[in-house]
């Protein structure tokens, strides 16, 4: 359960990239991962649109963590990213073979990275809680370099692209192969700080409170 000394924000993720974004933005937070079966969520809802998938998974993760005792008295934020190419959603490839095939399709082209955000206010009314449960999308167009076959193999060999949406990152080895980003850079890395500010504001929490500099 949250205490007066806990940060008000609880990140429903164990992602190092999302945690670094928050830290670099001066935001105080704790982390708690969810145990959501992503494939089951998408299948049961019958979702096919990349943006809908990203938002539904962000909500599922947020709701799973918000239901835990440790989340009481907090703002819980959940996120999920889905890359769209030719209208098709590309999640985590998991295997080297899938990653190699996807990156081969992506090289020299532009796709769109959707990041869904969902925020739940678990604070009681006596503590200023609003009961807010709301989501928002952010994202950007990402243009990739015309990678050679050797470069694709070298990147896949790092294993970095196996566990990330769209088989690429902007804050790791994948940065070498990203030519252009048009949109919210933070959303492509995994969490839009601006979107978080907006959602927290709708729960009556100004960004200065997220910074941990003011009670």
Residue 213 clears pLDDT 70, i.e. is over it: no
Residue 94 has a CB neighbour count (10 Å cut-off) of 11
- Per the document, the length of the chain is 215
Q: Which tokens belong to 58?
A: 């962000």
Arithmetic mean of pLDDT over the chain: 93
Residue 1 clears pLDDT 50, i.e. is over it: no
For the residues 177-182, what does the mean pLDDT come to?
96
* Domain 9-210 class, CATH top level: alpha beta
How far from each other are the two terminal CA atoms of the chain, in whole angstroms?
Answer: 18
What pLDDT is stored for residue 71 in this prediction?
Answer: 96
Catalytic residue annotation: 80
Spans of all domains in the chain: 9-210
For the residues 69-86, what does the mean pLDDT come to?
95
What pLDDT is stored for residue 90 in this prediction?
Answer: 86
Per-residue pLDDT tens digits for 35-65: 888 889 888 888 889 999 999 999 999 999 9
Is 73:46 a contact under the CB 8 Å cutoff? no
Residue 129 has a CB neighbour count (10 Å cut-off) of 16
Per-residue pLDDT tens digits for 136-161: 999 999 999 999 999 999 999 999 99
Residue 101 clears pLDDT 90, i.e. is over it: yes
Query: Which DSSP string do the residues of the chain spell out, in sequence order?
Result: ---TTS-SEEES---HHHHHHHHHTT--EEE------HHHHHHHHT--SHHHHHHHHHHHHHHHHHTSGGGTTSEEEEEEEEEEETTEEE----SHHHHHHHHHHHTT-EEEEEEEEEEEE---GGGT----EEEEEEEEEEEE----HHHHHHHHHT-GGGGSGGG--SSSGGGGGEEEEEE-HHHHHT--HHHHHHHHHHTT--HHHHTTS--
Residue 22 clears pLDDT 60, i.e. is over it: yes
Is 62:76 a contact under the CB 8 Å cutoff? yes
Q: How confident is the model at residue 5 (pLDDT cuts 50, 70, 90)?
A: low
What pLDDT is stored for residue 153 in this prediction?
Answer: 96
Q: Which tokens belong to 164?
A: 């990330």
- Give the torsion through C-alpha atoms of 62, 66, 72, 73, to 10 deg: 30
- What phi-psi label fits residue 75: left (phi over 0), alpha (psi between -120 and 50 degrees) or beta? beta
């Amino acid at each position: 359960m949250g205490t007066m000394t806990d940060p008000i924000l609880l990140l429903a993720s164990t992602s190092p990239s999302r945690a670094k974004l928050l830290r670099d933005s001066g935001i105080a937070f704790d982390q708690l991962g969810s145990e959501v079966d992503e494939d089951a969520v998408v299948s049961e809802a019958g979702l096919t649109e990349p943006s809908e998938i990203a938002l539904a998974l962000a909500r599922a993760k947020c709701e799973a963590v918000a239901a835990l005792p440790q989340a009481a008295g907090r703002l819980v934020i959940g996120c999920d990213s889905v890359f769209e190419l030719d209208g098709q959603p590309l999640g985590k490839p998991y295997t080297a073979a899938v990653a190699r095939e996807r990156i081969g399709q992506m090289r020299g082209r532009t796709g769109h990275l959707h990041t869904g955000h969902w925020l739940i206010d678990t604070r009681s009314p006596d503590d200023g809680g609003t009961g807010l449960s709301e989501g928002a999308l952010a994202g950007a167009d990402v243009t990739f370099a015309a990678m050679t076959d050797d470069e694709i193999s070298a990147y896949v060999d790092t294993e970095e692209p196996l566990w990330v949406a769209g088989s690429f990152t902007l804050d790791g080895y994948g940065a070498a192969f990203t030519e252009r980003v048009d949109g919210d850079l933070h959303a492509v890395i995994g969490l839009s700080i601006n979107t978080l500010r907006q959602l927290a504001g709708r729960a009556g929490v100004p960004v200065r409170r997220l910074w941990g500099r003011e009670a």
